[in-house]
Amino acid sequence: QFRRFREVTLTQLQAIAGNYNISYNIDARFRALAAQDEVTAAALRDTQATLRAELARAAAAARRLRRRVRRLEGRVAAWGQRQEPQEPLANRTRGPAGLGAGRWQRLRQEQQHLREGARPGVPAWETQGQVSPREPPEPLQPHGPHAEQRAAGSPPKPKKLQAWHRRRERLREEGERPPNEARSVAVLREAALQPCGAGSVLLFPNSSVENVAVLGAGLRAGLRALSLCAWLSTPAPYLGTLLSYATEDNDNKLVLHGWDRGLRGSMHFVIGDPEFRELPVTRLLDGKWHHLCLTWSSEQGKFRFYVDRRLLAAGSGFQQGYEIPAGGSLVLGQEQDELGGGFDPSEAFVGRLASLALWSRALTPGEVASLATGQGQPPGALLTLADASPRGWVRRAECACLERCP
């Protein structure tokens, strides 16, 4: 009986040992499968990271390619504009058949007189030495871009005609003033656009890629509207880059830049590359101080571009509904081809900047006029020139009045 009990016990113990081995083997297999899963997940993560890096490099290369294409298009357009006037200029040197030399010379003098108009301080009749002030003036001939339409019998629009008459009246009044008085008026007008108390001025001495000013920590919140205003003067024949805002996924979220290989009298206003608008900046390239102000609103995509209080460009539907994201790099004087770098000397700003400020709303025309005449800065500016950190050879100077800046 005892042996029987021992055999039964041994059989039960062997069954228990077998069951234990089965569960142990199952646990080992689960652990092996979990380890394989972790290895597979790690390999997948590495593959995804490599793919993202390749896509980022491809996107950066595509953006650089688009930029080069735009520059080439600008160069071709500039070359075309230089070539177009050559033939008409050559034709103007020869008089039409059937006219004598004296008659042709007189017609050319009258045409030159009409183009110049009345100069300040000189009566209109003195600009053409052959006509006496007692002689009745000859009727004005149509000239300018709409001359052919007027010659064909198409009258100018009433608003344009009234503006033209007002301008002629103003020029006549200034032309009839004594020379000293006319010069005084010009000086007063220029002084009105050069206010004192502008604060500090940033001087960008040359186009070195080391000359840059970093504006604080960039944007802390996204922008659905903006206004950027500043005083500037540049001796360069092109404007260069005033402001560049780049993020990790796009180096052209907000850019105001020109370059020496494109149309030198224009500037690109970029929001969310590749969308941009071309703005005229020829008025800014005379080496004098000028006030610039640019506004944009995402609600209807409206933008306005002012120079010395005058509206030079406007439009709508530009990046409507778009938001400029936060967390990027915001710099002055250089155009970023990558986050915080990738500068190109052909796009650098050379000159002086003063009273620069950025708002998160579109300023009204009255506020722009107040800025341009030195009547105070609207409240609520996100960033000003005081937040800029100069680098390279950029230096900061304090000026009581803009015309006295070094």
> Using one digit for the tens of pLDDT, what is the confidence trace for 14-68?
777 766 666 666 777 778 888 888 888 888 888 998 898 889 888 878 877 877 7
For residue 386, being part of any structural domain is answered with yes
CATH number (domain holding residue 284): 2.60.120.200
pLDDT for residue 121 is more than 60: no
Spatial separation of the C-alpha atoms in residues 32 and 26, rounded to whole Å: 10
pLDDT for residue 176 is more than 50: no
For residue 340, being part of any structural domain is answered with yes
Percentage of the chain surpassing pLDDT 90? 40
pLDDT in tens, 313-355: 999 999 999 999 999 999 999 999 988 899 999 999 999 999 9
pLDDT for residue 356 is more than 50: yes
For residue 359, being part of any structural domain is answered with yes
What pTM was computed for the model? 0.57
pLDDT at 267: 93
Percentage of the chain surpassing pLDDT 70? 67
Average pLDDT value for the chain: 77
Least-confidence region, from 69-73, 322-326, 340-344, 369-373: 69-73
pLDDT (mean) for 7-15 = 80
For residue 223, being part of any structural domain is answered with yes
pLDDT at 314: 96
For residue 161, being part of any structural domain is answered with no
pLDDT at 209: 94
The residue among 142 and 75 whose pLDDT is bigger is: 75
Q: Are strands 212-215 and 225-233 parallel, antiparallel or unpaired?
A: unpaired
pLDDT for residue 90 is more than 50: no
Could you list the residue range(s) of the whole structural domain that residue 353 is in?
200-404
pLDDT for residue 132 is more than 70: no
pLDDT at 275: 87
For residue 25, being part of any structural domain is answered with no
pLDDT at 160: 52
For residue 78, being part of any structural domain is answered with no
pLDDT at 259: 83
pLDDT for residue 130 is more than 50: no
For residue 17, being part of any structural domain is answered with no
Report the range out of 23-32, 98-107, 248-257, 316-325 with the highest average pLDDT.
316-325
Number of domain units in the chain:
1
pLDDT for residue 151 is more than 70: no
